[in-house]
């Protein structure tokens, strides 16, 4: 993660095409480590070859990094990502000017800015991935199960999480800055006129401030949250000794497996600081004995450690409450509608009588239909009449007639056979004569040609086979 100075003066010289190219590179970095030039041109959709010109401009201003070893590709730098976020915030009048840097941390830079109404606000730019704190992937759960991600994307997740926590705590009445807007890795919040507790050397009532700090830790636990970094660098104190809490991305739920350890660590940090700086030593609360969860703010902001079991238990409790509310509403309706029920009973009795009469009519019709069906079945089930046996004289007469017919048929068959034999013999003689004529013609042709028949044996064999087939 390259650390670059935020020079906001460059923003006024960038054109519309330059920001289109930067946003195209940002979209391409979702699935590309280095975005090819062809992809940048297709996403930005700049006409007449303006993509190359814009790439030259943003590369000259160090808003992108160019790599041409493997292929022609680009990626955003932290400064280019800053310009995209500031441009979006300025379009919504969340900020119109950026001033000096008033704070630097291992995870972010804090700038003084001005909104559209001319009031001073705070611009917090998350810059995760610095060499001083590269174990962020192990110490934070921003990735939520993902194995790989760029530092720009992790910075965006951290800013989103802080804005969500700040908004929920502000709505619950906690002493936190007022969240104003958010875009990418930048968060805009109200300016708190106070000082860091770490820079305070003297205090009028250290015991009072100490109790306020510990009460704030306990109150967070009652809402289901633990700060996990509750120390003098994340607390601000005003001239009236009022406490303001900042820096929220690392907060976890009281359902976290290490919740008790984180709670004790926050309390011990405050106790150690007040003892070393102001010589005051007070009691330390315990998570199990001194706190009682009353609200589910960890569910609203999806804090780390809020498991699926806790969500299921919360849903079951919510369902029980809904059932109770509905039961009370039903009982009220029943008590208020008793008179209406008395009036409706008479009408219901009349309707019941009508229904009973209709049922009786239907039953009568069905009984008549069943009778008809039973009669039809009885008719079909009656046995057929047995035919009377014929007389023996009639049988003998029929048999004699059949024998006479058989004899006449036999005589007819014998006559047909004799006729067919005579016809076959006549046809056979005719065929033999035709074959003989053909053979003679062939012999005459050969004799006329003057050629001797050298294959007399073959001719005789063919003649014999023909004669055998005919016979």
What DSSP string describes 363-403? HHHHHHHHHHHHHHHHHHHSPPPPPPPPPHHHHHHHHHHHH
- Quickly list H helices, 172-300: 206-222, 259-278, 287-290, 297-300
C-beta of residue 125 within 8 angstroms of C-beta of residue 186 = yes
Q: Show the beta-strand stretches assigned E in 221-313.
A: 225-226, 235-237, 243-245, 252-253
Strand partners, 245: 235
Tell me which of 229, 264, 290, 310 is the catalytic residue: 229
Crossing angle of helices 456-470 and 392-449, rounded to 10°: 160
C-beta of residue 189 within 8 angstroms of C-beta of residue 124 = yes
Of residues 103, 100, 109, 14, the one with CA closest to residue 62: 14
How many angstroms separate the CA atoms of 346 and 89, rounded? 70
- φ, ψ at 251 (rounded to 5°): -65, 145
C-beta of residue 120 within 8 angstroms of C-beta of residue 191 = yes
Residue 315, CA atoms < 13 Å, CB-side half-sphere? 6
Q: For 303, which DSSP code?
A: -
Crossing angle of helices 37-44 and 16-28, rounded to 10°: 120
pTM for the model:
0.61
- φ, ψ at 315 (rounded to 5°): -65, -40
C-beta of residue 255 within 8 angstroms of C-beta of residue 169 = no
Tokens, residue 438: 């053909």
Angle at 77 between CA 73 and CA 81, to 5 degrees: 115
- φ, ψ at 32 (rounded to 5°): -135, 135
C-beta of residue 397 within 8 angstroms of C-beta of residue 404 = no
How many angstroms separate the CA atoms of 270 and 276, rounded? 10
- Annotated catalytic residue 109: no
The burial of 203, by beta-carbon neighbours within 10 Å (0-12 exposed, 13-18 middle, 19 or more buried), is given as: middle
DSSP for 333-374?
HHHHTHHHHHHHHHHHHHHHHHHHHHHHHHHHHHHHHHHHHH
Residue 5 CA, chain-centre distance (Å), reads: 41
pLDDT (tens, 9 = 90+) of the chain, 471 residues, equals: 445 567 788 888 899 999 999 999 999 998 888 999 999 999 998 887 789 999 999 999 999 999 877 778 999 999 999 999 999 999 999 999 999 999 888 888 999 999 999 999 999 999 887 654 445 555 555 455 555 567 888 889 889 989 989 999 999 999 999 999 999 999 999 999 999 999 999 999 999 999 999 999 999 999 999 999 999 999 999 999 999 999 887 888 888 889 999 999 999 999 999 999 999 998 999 998 888 888 888 777 765 544 445 445 444 544 555 455 555 554 555 455 544 445 555 555 565 555 556 545 655 555 565 566 556 555 544 444 444 444 556 556 655 665 565 555 545 555 555 555 545 556 666 766 776 777 677 666 666 554 444 455 555 666 666 666 555
- Number of other CB atoms surrounding residue 264 within 10 Å: 15
Q: For 15, which DSSP code?
A: -
């Amino acid at each position: 993660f390259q650390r670059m100075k935020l020079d906001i003066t460059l923003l006024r010289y960038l054109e519309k095409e330059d920001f289109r190219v930067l946003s195209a590179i940002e979209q391409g970095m979702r699935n590309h480590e280095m975005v090819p030039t062809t992809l940048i041109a297709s996403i930005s959709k700049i006409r007449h070859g303006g993509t190359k010109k814009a790439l030259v401009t943003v590369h000259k201003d160090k808003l992108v990094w160019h790599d041409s070893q493997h292929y022609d590709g680009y990626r955003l730098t932290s400064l280019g990502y800053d310009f995209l976020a500031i441009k979006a915030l300025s379009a919504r009048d969340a900020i119109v000017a950026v001033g000096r840097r008033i704070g630097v941390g291992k995870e972010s830079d804090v700038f003084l800015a001005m909104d559209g109404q001319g009031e001073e606000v705070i611009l917090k730019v998350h810059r995760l991935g610095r060499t001083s704190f590269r174990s962020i992937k192990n110490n934070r759960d921003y990735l939520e199960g993902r194995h790989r991600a760029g530092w720009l994307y992790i910075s965006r997740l951290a800013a989103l999480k802080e804005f969500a926590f700040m908004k929920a705590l502000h709505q619950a009445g906690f002493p936190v800055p007022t969240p104003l807007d958010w875009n990418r890795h930048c968060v805009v919040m109200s300016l708190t006129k106070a000082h860091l507790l770490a820079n305070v050397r003297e205090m009028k009532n250290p015991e009072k401030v100490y109790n306020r700090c510990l009460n704030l830790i306990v109150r967070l636990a009652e809402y289901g949250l633990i700060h996990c970094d509750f120390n003098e660098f994340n607390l601000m104190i005003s001239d009236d000794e009022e406490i303001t809490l900042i820096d929220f991305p690392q907060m976890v739920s009281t359902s976290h497996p290490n919740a008790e350890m984180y709670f004790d660590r926050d309390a011990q940090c405050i106790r150690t600081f007040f003892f070393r700086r102001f010589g005051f030593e007070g009691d330390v609360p315990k998570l199990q004995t001194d706190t009682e969860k009353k609200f589910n703010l960890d569910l609203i902001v999806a804090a780390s450690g809020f498991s699926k079991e806790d969500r299921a238990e919360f849903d079951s409790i919510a369902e029980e409450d809904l059932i109770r509310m509905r039961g009370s509403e039903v009982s009220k309706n029943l008590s208020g509608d008793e008179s209406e029920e008395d009036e409706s009973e008479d009408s219901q009795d009349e309707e019941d009588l009508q229904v009973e009469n209709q049922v009786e009519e239907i039953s009568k019709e069905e009984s008549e239909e069943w009778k008809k069906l039973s009669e039809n079945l009885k008719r079909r089930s009656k046995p057929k009449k047995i035919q009377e046996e014929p007389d023996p004289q009639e049988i003998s007469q029929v048999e004699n007639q059949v024998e006479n017919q058989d004899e006449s048929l036999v005589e007819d068959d014998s006559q047909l056979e004799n006729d067919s034999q005579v016809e076959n013999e006549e046809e056979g003689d005719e065929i033999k004569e035709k074959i003989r004529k053909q053979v003679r013609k062939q012999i005459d042709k050969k004799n006329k040609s003057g050629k001797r028949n050298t294959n007399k044996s073959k001719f005789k064999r063919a003649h014999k086979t023909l004669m055998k087939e005919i016979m």
